[in-house]
Amino acid sequence: FQQKVLAGRRVMITAGPTFEPIDPVRGITNLSSGKMGYAIARAAREAGADVTLVSGPVSLPTPHGVRRIDVLTAQQMHDAVMAGVTGQHVFIGVAAVADWRVVNASDQKLKKTPDGAPPALEFAQNADILASVAATVSLSGWPYCVGFAAESEQLEAYGAAKREKKGIPLLVGNIGPQTFGQDDNTIILFDEHGHVLLERADKLTLARQLVSEIGKRLEQRSLL
Ligand code: C5P
């Protein structure tokens, strides 16, 4: 009998896109399907963790045994995460969070005007949820923070830099551009020792490999 790698661990995961309203029926979103985040939630649960999934709008079933909190906007995702992150052992930011929200969203549906002038949208930058969580890491090192990067070029160079900039121990790079909505993916893990490539596979296989890599790193930590 082998102990499951995340037995007794609490894991919080963000997944999917966010949706930033323009008016009651329109908004700005992105092509994240949520498949990778949901696969990781399933894999973490299989590995024995207590899993909380904070999810943007996606059409995927909740993985068995996973607690799911649905949100729409980046601000709601931020608030849900910050309200629940205390006591988590691992935080994995997989969501494709909108960088900007519309500050002058209309309460009523916007109408076309006779002169054809489009609405003037004003934007404000959203908080970086992963950075906000990383800023709460206690002296004991919890939660162990994992981030994702979906760069369209030069992932190897950007990946290491992004890990440093975000101040997190592990960053997962998606090898794009064809990852959003796909069932397969290729990822690179960046940590303090360098990077390792996980060969192209379906997202659940990669999620299980990632969970096992996270489990190994937590094990090493608890030995320190
Ligand atoms: O900086 P960039 O958006 O490329 O970083 C991507 C990583 O940061 C992902 O893990 C994503 O979930 C997280 N992120 C976040 N909040 C944001 C923007 C990105 O948690 N506002």
Q: How many domains does the chain have?
A: 1
- pLDDT tens-digit series, residues 138-178: 777 899 999 999 765 667 778 899 999 999 999 999 886 56
- Annotated catalytic, 126? no
Helix (H) or strand (E) holding 152: none
Domain range enclosing 97: 10-110+120-223
Would residue 1 count as lying in a domain?
Answer: no
Would residue 27 count as lying in a domain?
Answer: yes
- pLDDT tens-digit series, residues 39-68: 999 999 999 999 999 999 999 999 999 999
Nearest to 89 by CA among 17, 30, 161, 8: 8
Given the DSSP bridges, would you call strands 90-93 and 144-149 parallel, antiparallel or unpaired? parallel
Supply the ipTM of this predicted assembly.
Answer: 0.95
Which pTM does this prediction carry? 0.95
14 C-alpha to ligand 1 centroid (Å): 10
**Measured from the CA of 98, which atom of ligand 1 is nearest?**
21
**Measured from the CA of 92, which atom of ligand 1 is nearest?**
10
CA distance linking residue 52 with residue 168, whole number of Å: 20
Percent of the chain with pLDDT over 70: 95
Nearest to 204 by CA among 182, 176, 177: 182
Would residue 156 count as lying in a domain?
Answer: yes
Would residue 47 count as lying in a domain?
Answer: yes
Q: What is the CATH number of the domain that holds 178?
A: 3.40.50.10300
Would residue 171 count as lying in a domain?
Answer: yes
